[in-house]
Amino acid sequence: MHLTDEQLNEYLDNETNEREQIELHLHSCNECNARFSDLQNLFLELDSLPDLQLTRDLSTRFATKGQLTLQLPHWLTLTVFAQAALALIALIISIPFITTYIPQIDVASLTSPLFEIQSLWNTWLDSLSTLQLPTIPELPIPVLEMSSLLLALAGIFVIWIFGNGLLLRNQIR
């Protein structure tokens, strides 16, 4: 039985526990001895080669990759906070419109939309006179549309956050 390449490699790397057997075979077998010298020369050549400097440090790529996976949940949390802040702003903006629109609901269910607009216009005029604000040329219809638009936006934001919250919770688990 001749020595395998694996045995010779292990012998050169000093990672064998059959050292004596290998040495014995190398002394008695010319064929394996020749293969051993070839392998030894190859090892010496490889050792004599200069260590080439990599153009890019690959270790940094792995380091940033690890950081990225750690930072991802943090980034997602920030997004949720940003969305919550936006929703809060939208709600604050829409509050004056909601408070003026909601009292009109009872009237709207009983009377015609025309009366609704008229009453809204009256409340708008009342608020103008009580607050002593300079008259702003604005129709009640755009106000009504704006309030419902903002209400819808606020609703979308709330749903968005709630959805993201569920998504995050699933990712953490």
Instruction: Single out the residue of 2, 74, 169, 173 in contact with Zn ion (rule: CB under 5 A).
Output: 2
The answer to whether the beta carbons of residues 147 and 101 sit under 8 Å apart is yes
Q: Minimum Å distance from CB 17 to Zn ion?
A: 19
Q: Minimum Å distance from CB 40 to Zn ion?
A: 15
Interaction between residue 169 and Zn ion (CB under 5 A): no
Nearer to Zn ion, 33 or 148 (CB): 33
Helix (H, G, I), strand (E, B) or coil at 139: coil
Interaction between residue 144 and Zn ion (CB under 5 A): no
Helix axes 5-12, 19-28, angle to 10 degrees: 120
The encoded tokens of residue 7 equal 């045995």
Q: Minimum Å distance from CB 45 to Zn ion?
A: 23
Q: HSE (CB half, 13 Å, CA atoms) of 64?
A: 5
Contact window for Zn ion (CB under 5 A) among 13-21, 22-30, 36-44, 107-115: 22-30
112-120's contacts with Cβ under 8 Å and 24+ in sequence apart are 117/141, 117/144, 120/144
Three-class SS of 65-97? HHHHHHHHHHHHHHHHHHHHHHHHHHHHHHHHH
Interaction between residue 29 and Zn ion (CB under 5 A): yes
Rounded distance, CA 143 to CA 167, Å? 36
Per-residue interface string for the shown chain with Zn ion, residues 92-121, x marking contact by CB under 5 A: ------------------------------
Q: Minimum Å distance from CB 57 to Zn ion?
A: 45
Helix (H, G, I), strand (E, B) or coil at 123: helix
Instruction: Single out the residue of 8, 32, 87, 143 in contact with Zn ion (rule: CB under 5 A).
Output: 32
Total of chain residues touching Zn ion, rule CB under 5 A:
3
Contact window for Zn ion (CB under 5 A) among 1-9, 54-62, 94-102, 104-112: 1-9
Residue numbers at the binding site for Zn ion (CB under 5 A): 2, 29, 32
